[in-house]
Amino acid sequence: MRHSSVRLLRRWCVGLVLPAAISQPLAAQVRPESRLIFSIFGGVVRPGGLWTLDKQPLLVLFGTPRYDTLRLRRKLTTGLTAGLSATFFRSANFGLSGEIVYVALRIDDDCEMTFTHLDVQLRNTQLCDDITQRTRTASTVGFYFGAAYRFTTRSAVTPYVRLQGGFAVRSSSLIEMTGRFIDEQPDGTQTVNLRSVLLEDSRISVDPGLAGAAGIMFAVAPGYNVRLEVRDHLLVVDRPTAAADQLGSVETESFLTFAPALVIGIDIVLERRRGRRY
């Protein structure tokens, strides 16, 4: 009876120790360290206001020279962003990064008539209303290069930060402002006319830019991550400094504006450094 109890005790101890001994090498296996990461991302960007002209004179067409006064405002509203990036970690934590990012922002204009002269056809009023009702898209493509730092290397959850500089190519003017009005002829025919209030010599611009980001990468499968990132683009844009003349020519100045964004991306790990057993 006593020997049976001893055998049962030995079996019970072996049953406790054996799983732990088997699992010890598995626990010692370290997760691979990703070195070259290719990312596809997209998200929402929310910029701020651009500029305001409180007193913009506008000639009343036909008759003796008279000027109405307009208040003009322009801002950028919520848009979409998407891009491709690559990061190569030369060491465990520090890496080099580069990306191409596309940002599409909606241009929202507002025009208010603050002083008007008599005009039977209300041409300037029509033009002002058309400016307010119309929307355009400002498209920007940025090319950025810089450095990245990750706080963990072989974890399933990896926080990181990134800072990059480069340049941005914009295909839409942030100064030019035009509106349409309908002109009725004596014979009853109507013509739609396009009139410029503000003009810019070139709609295409290339400006320096800066992009910073902070995010978290989640390992979802071998060789694949999902990342959630908060980023901010620092862009150089132009704004008018005074009212335009009769021809729409206006003096401008450059200033810095921020365009924060929230993006989600998918990472493809192209090169990994395998973990080791201890």
Least confident segment among 25-29, 32-36, 98-102, 158-162: 25-29
Average pLDDT for 40-45:
97
The whole-number pLDDT of residue 30 equals 56
**β-bridge partners, 267:** 39, 225
Could you state, in order of their start, the residue ranges of all structural domains in the chain?
Answer: 33-273
Q: Which two tokens stand for residue 42?
A: 């997209």
The whole-number pLDDT of residue 275 equals 52
For 131, counting Cβ atoms within 10 Å of its Cβ (0-12 exposed, 13-18 middle, 19+ buried), the class is buried
Q: Alpha-carbon torsion 74, 258, 228, 143, what sign?
A: positive
Q: How confident is the model at residue 27 (pLDDT cuts 50, 70, 90)?
A: very low
**β-bridge partners, 43:** 81, 263
Least confident segment among 31-40, 225-234, 240-249: 31-40
How many angstroms separate the CA atoms of 109 and 114, rounded? 16
pLDDT over 70 percentage in the chain:
86
- 33-273 to CATH, choices 2.60.120.10, 3.40.1190.20, 2.40.160.20, 2.30.110.10: 2.40.160.20
Q: Which two tokens stand for residue 58?
A: 């506008």
97 CB-near residues (< 8 Å, 6+ apart): 85, 86, 87, 88, 145, 146, 147, 148, 162, 164
φ and ψ of 104, to 5 deg: -115, 115
The whole-number pLDDT of residue 194 equals 93
75 CB-near residues (< 8 Å, 6+ apart): 47, 48, 49, 50, 107, 108
Mean pLDDT over each residue of the chain, to the nearest integer: 86
| Cα 174 to chain centroid, rounded | 17
Q: How confident is the model at residue 201 (pLDDT cuts 50, 70, 90)?
A: confident
Looking at the predicted structure, is the pLDDT value of residue 16 above 60? no
Looking at the predicted structure, is the pLDDT value of residue 172 above 90? no
Neighbour tally for 194: CB within 10 Å: 10
Looking at the predicted structure, is the pLDDT value of residue 7 above 80? no
Q: How confident is the model at residue 17 (pLDDT cuts 50, 70, 90)?
A: very low
How many angstroms separate the CA atoms of 10 and 17, rounded? 11
| pTM listed for this prediction | 0.77
Q: How confident is the model at residue 31 (pLDDT cuts 50, 70, 90)?
A: low
Q: Which two tokens stand for residue 210?
A: 């800066």
The whole-number pLDDT of residue 202 equals 77
Q: Which one has a higher pLDDT value, 69 or 201?
A: 69
Looking at the predicted structure, is the pLDDT value of residue 197 above 80? yes
Average pLDDT for 19-46:
70
Q: Cβ distance 46 to 260 under 8 Å?
A: yes
Average pLDDT for 170-191:
89
CA angle 140, 146, 148 (to 5 degrees): 115
How many angstroms separate the CA atoms of 126 and 196, rounded? 13
| Cα 2 to chain centroid, rounded | 77
